[in-house]
Structure 1
């Protein structure tokens, strides 16, 4: 999007003109962040980077997004209520806290519901967690049936049962695979919707001169490694590269639309409502990071991903600090 178009859109809004212009700006900003999804997927499919490099980039993106959540959403949301709207600090904190808790709970609930339909296949870390949960019950039964207390015939039966466990896991994966693409898309959209809502809402009541793109940059830095890692896992799981690219391209389009909707829904919202909605979105994003990206980055990259996370945090903070100048 050109600066001339952005300026015209903001001027139209300031003059009470067409809101549609700013809706397009919001969609464009969401698109700028979401375009990293198909680009990252393409890199993952065709370049096949080493797992340590993927984990390092993923940790960098997670650090950038954590900074954006802490400062752009939590801090600035509370600051707006306290400084500009004369709300006491505890009440402002409660708006942010309840929003984050609600958003995190909604993400975890939606993620769990989609797992039963194959939505977990979008991320390698979710696949491993899903398999581990499905195996835990059988392992508990085998542990209770101590080998010393059973006759020989039952021991042989348990041996075959252990073998059948691995077959059952494989069959379960194949069974889910057939109907998984739509569930995977919904799961990935569940990851991306909160970010796009925040981006769209951020266009409200701002001017081109003061708009800070730090959150958009942080989401871009997070989306790239997320899609790269997920695309590699999906191809290994049996999806064709074309199918994977169509899915991530569709997700980019979905996030773009959600960005426009975020602006249209929040353009007339009160400061309290805007802070709460942003906090709900922030809670969903933070839960996604904690449940999927950060465990996967540490598992694949080891302790050094901590440094990458710090570097990502500092890189995003550079944009935030520059916006204060």
Structure 2
């Protein structure tokens, strides 16, 4: 258990690896699905521009999200991306003993610290495959945050294991930003109303390529949604973002997302098979997300060498629970993966990793 902010750079994200590169690098550092947003979604967003003179009206998008998860609209809050949701939770809820399960996306802890909270960490172990141990979470925690599947480990925790963390007086926050990239979403908690204190956060950034538009949502009990909504500024989600949210909830869009998830699973298996050929590389087993986490000696030097060979990978040492031996790599199409594996071979040889 740790409470130190320590030396991990919680504000570092994958986009920093490709910023100012002018497209010179193949981006394996950011987990947004390649080739997105699709043409039909760009058209829906473009059509919404004719309504920019009016203030945003989120009712239709909110109803679409609610219908997609079989929930009443009172249990849905639209946000300017998942990142805003973490800020709202940190500022709006009467939290006294927050715990964040790491390694995971760093923004929840950063938001809690920025709001003045002392954050305790539960660090999952590589030797256990970064699997969740509910017994490691302190009983007195009144806020517990974890991802599923978890970024950067790509581990999908059983829904029953996560639900077992629920307690009276505890808010259980599950970041499901990558859940729609898992075929069938078998361990999803979105839509569940039987888990007390559950808050599920979702993003449309990853599957639909909308990082620049900022759109996500929160699923929670009506009183929690109301508390978060009171902490939001007026009209927090733009009209184009609302149009995108509504469009991504249609049956055809959900079918497209499922098809993409199945393709990602195939391409991930190809990437994992290629990585298994390197004795110097160890990969977190049972990866389920559109990225994999790997460990190798001198990973930072390997990452630098990969850049010189045209590939950007995500450094792992900014995630609590990881160090300079870790890299995260996004799943891409087979041709890109093959070129990356060739570059990795060269980088490992050149650095003596």
TM-score norm. by structure 1 comes to 0.23
Q: Which has the larger Rg? A: 1
Q: Which has the higher helix share?
A: 1
Q: Which has the larger share of strand?
A: 2
